[in-house]
Amino acid sequence: MKIHEVVITGYGMINGVGNNANDAFNALLAGNSGVDIISHFDASNEKVRIACEVKNFNPDDVMDKKEQKKADRFIHLGLQAVAEAMQRATIKIEDIDRDRFGVCGATGIGGLPTIERNVISSFQKGAKGVSPFFVPSTITNMLSGYVSIYHDLRGPNLSSTTACTAGLHAITEAAKTIMLGGADAMVAVGAEACICPIGLRGFANMNALSTRNDDPAHASRPFDKDRDGFVLGEGAGALILESLESARKRGAKIYAKLLGFGESADAHHITTPLANHEGASRAIKAALAMAGNPKIDYINAHGTSTYYNDLYESKMFESLFEKVPPLSSIKGSTGHTLGAAGTIEAVVSIMALNANMMPPTINFEASSDDMQLDYIPNKARAAELCTVLSANYGFGGTNGAIIFGKMDSY
């Protein structure tokens, strides 16, 4: 069986620092933070009152008004990222067989705000309080469903719901489909929008969130000694993956080549990673092996701003590399976008690769636990980049890593 090479021919994203890929990436390079007081609902009496919301987004841009109530906000955001990715990929109907163009969507939680509203309304009004669109507007696979319908993509229609690794897993599932000949092209899209009372309270009562309510911009502090939890974010990221043959046939611009990926499980604890991130380490080793053990020039780390993740992730990189490459986490700017993190961070990694610019870890003042890694503190840095690694880990002990390279280098 022939294994097809996979390349990236389009990308798009939306998050708390920008409503398209260029604006968001430039904001990351500038060290901007999108964290602020929550505006989606009145959080004035909450333990945590801050989040990283997408701002000035109009769902009219992606859906007719009468259709919007049939889809939760995470679907609206996902459609926005996909529309940008498809436009960047310059795919025309005559360019590719729609029967061989599929979708893999991802979300960590799905339509939580819509679930919350319908549950409250059900208790208040009984059966008539539940929308007939409740189920299809909230279930996790409807992201890929809507993308398929809106873009007439009739190939494999898949969905990944693996907590904070879901977005990355959407990319690897899409890649596997192309590699094995199941499709010529795939959209991989991750989206999340659970900044609502029940979502906020759930994470807050786990003591997982930062409580720097009086200093939102400095609340998310990946790898910093004074970190006190992550900040809830929302957004979406999307990639267009194609076989190398398909991309060359239609003369597409290739933004990166997918060199390798790896997946693993901790088999340890529902929320706490293994010490030294041993499970995540196995995923990264698998990605490196598939890629042929290239020199990694930059790592886009998971870096959540939680105590154990950042400590164990740092120790893992120390054990994996003789000399740890420069690494950073964008979550100081975007917050933690949960199931969208893997696709958003893959987009950022590919943009960094093409721009030869590494985004910074903002709000970093000093490392804890005597870690001496280069976290690219506070200021973006220019560097010649040929190969980048992005990694994510999620509740349930699920891990993933992916490696991209410049096409002209591989």
Q: What percent of the chain has pLDDT over 70?
A: 100
**What are the pLDDT digits (tens) for 100-131?**
999 999 999 999 999 999 999 999 999 999 99
104 is catalytic: no
Range(s) within the chain of domains with CATH label 3.40.47.10: 6-249, 260-409
pLDDT at 96: 85
Which amino acid type is present at position 156?
P
Per-residue pLDDT of 52-64, as tens digits, reads 999 999 999 999 9
Neighbours of 320 (CB within 10 A): 18
Give the pLDDT score at 403.
Answer: 98
Architecture category of domain 6-249 in CATH: 3-Layer(aba) Sandwich (3.40)
Q: Please check whether the domain covering 260-409 is classified as CATH 3.40.190.10.
A: no
Per-residue pLDDT band for 409 (boundaries 50, 70, 90) equals confident
End-to-end CA distance of the chain: 22
Which pLDDT belongs to residue 94? Answer: 77
Does residue 277 carry a catalytic annotation? no
User: Of residues 164, 169, 196, 277, which has the active-site annotation?
Assistant: 164
pLDDT higher than 90, residue 196: yes
Q: Which of 4, 76, 169, 336 is catalytic?
A: 336
Average pLDDT of 353-373?
A: 92
Mean pLDDT of 301-308: 96
Q: Which two tokens stand for residue 166?
A: 């879901």
Query: Among 262, 261, 186, which residue's Cα sits nearest to residue 10?
Result: 186
Q: Which one is catalytic: 4, 76, 151, 302?
A: 302
Q: What is the 3-class SS of the chain, one letter each residue?
A: CCCCCEEEEEEEEEECCECCHHHHHHHHHHCCCCCEECCCCCCCCCCCCEEECCCCCCHHHCCCHHHHCCCCHHHHHHHHHHHHHHHHHCCCHHHCCHHHEEEEEECCCCCHHHHHHHHHHHHHHHHHHCCCCHHHHHCCCHHHHHHHHHHCCCCCEEEECCHHHHHHHHHHHHHHHHHCCCCCEEEEEEEECCCCHHHHHHHHCCCCECCCCCCHHHCCCCCECCCCCECEECEEEEEEEEEHHHHHHCCCCCCEEEEEEEEEECCCCCCCCCHHHHHHHHHHHHHHHHHCCCCCCEEECCCCCCHHHHHHHHHHHHHHCCCCCCEECCHHHHCECHHHHHHHHHHHHHHHHHHCEECCECCCCCECCCCCCCCCECCCEECCCCEEEEEEEECCCEEEEEEEECHHHC
336 annotated active-site: yes
User: What's the mean pLDDT in 241-245?
Assistant: 97
